[in-house]
Chains A and B, each alone.
Chain A
Amino acid sequence: MPLVEASMLLTESVPVAIGFESSDFGWPGLRSNFSDVGVLVTRSPTTEVSALAATIKSAGNGPHGHDDVGSYAISVNGTKLAGDVGRGNYTGRTFSAQRREIKWINSWDHPVPLVGGRQQVDATAAVNTVQSTSFTDAVDDIAINMAPAYAAPGG
């Protein structure tokens, strides 16, 4: 399961503790920042009308990963509305030399830019590319340098 899709499970409608990280308690706070694998989940209190949540991925995750550095998903009350669409059926093709021709493995099905018509280039090995983060009760902000995931000159 793609990491972004898996992390969407953490945007389910649950009580959110304002001002606390998930690691502080056994239940979600405003965000879960898994910086070691490059996944951020940012939520809104369920008491708010919008209840928007997002998850974003900032790194590759090894040979079984997808070309999805910078991929994100947007959910409302735990229902994914936009972004990473997950995966299709695993077949022999999935684990063959044609693996990265599959659109839900390469960049095509991920909400990441096409630059000069080019997709990401085997982004599975891309290191965490977070440039900055700012987390407050009012705003979560993350900036990701996606250039290493592309072959485009100048990124």
Chain B
Amino acid sequence: MRRLRNDRASGVIVVQDEFSGFSAPQSFEVPITTKGTWRQLAPDRLRLQHYQQVDALLEASAPFSIVGEEVTDDGLTFQRVAIRLNTATTNGWVRVTFSR
């Protein structure tokens, strides 16, 4: 289940993914993609820049790693930053909160 919430009063947009009900543990990752640049401000925070900038606060139900790569395919180059849970699990969640 994915939920997107635009909280205008707080000035944030939250994207949360929840998964459950797997019969066996599964690896799980949620990527943030961008044509701009990104850098890690803290273990749980990214800054994305492309003329403007936005920060992404990362939270998850379990410890996670941030894995970035540049991808090029058929004329398109972009950055893919995965928020990857460190261990497989049968349920959990990942939440990304975008703010300026």
Interfacial residues, chain A to chain B (CB-CB below 8 A): 30, 40, 42-45, 48-54, 56, 70, 72, 74, 76-77, 79-89, 91, 93-94, 102-104, 108-117, 131, 137-147, 152-155
Contacts and interface: CB of A to CB of B under 8 A. Distances in A.
Pairs of residues from A and B, 5 with the lowest C-beta to C-beta distance, nearest first: A88-B76, A89-B75, A50-B11, A88-B75, A154-B21
A34 to B, nearest CB: 15
A113 B21 contact: no
B9 A138 contact: yes
A112 B80 CA distance: 11
B11 A81 contact: no
Interface residues of B, number: 52
B100 A50 contact: yes
Contact of B76 (A79, A82, A85, A155): A85
- Secondary structure class of chain B's binding surface, majority of residues: strand
Given A81-B50, A115-B28, A72 B6 contact: no
Interface string B49-89: 11111101000000000000001011110101010000010
B34 A85 contact: yes
A103 B80 CA distance: 11
A48 B80 contact: no
A49 B11 CA distance: 8
Contacts of A72: 4, 15
B34 to A, nearest CB: 5
Given A85-B76, A140-B5, A54 B13 contact: yes
Contact of B8 (A45, A77, A87, A147): A45
A84 B4 CA distance: 14
Contact of A81 (B20, B53, B71): B53
A54 B35 CA distance: 16
B54 A52 contact: yes
Given A89-B75, A103-B71, A113 B28 contact: yes
Given A81-B48, A141-B3, A116 B11 contact: no
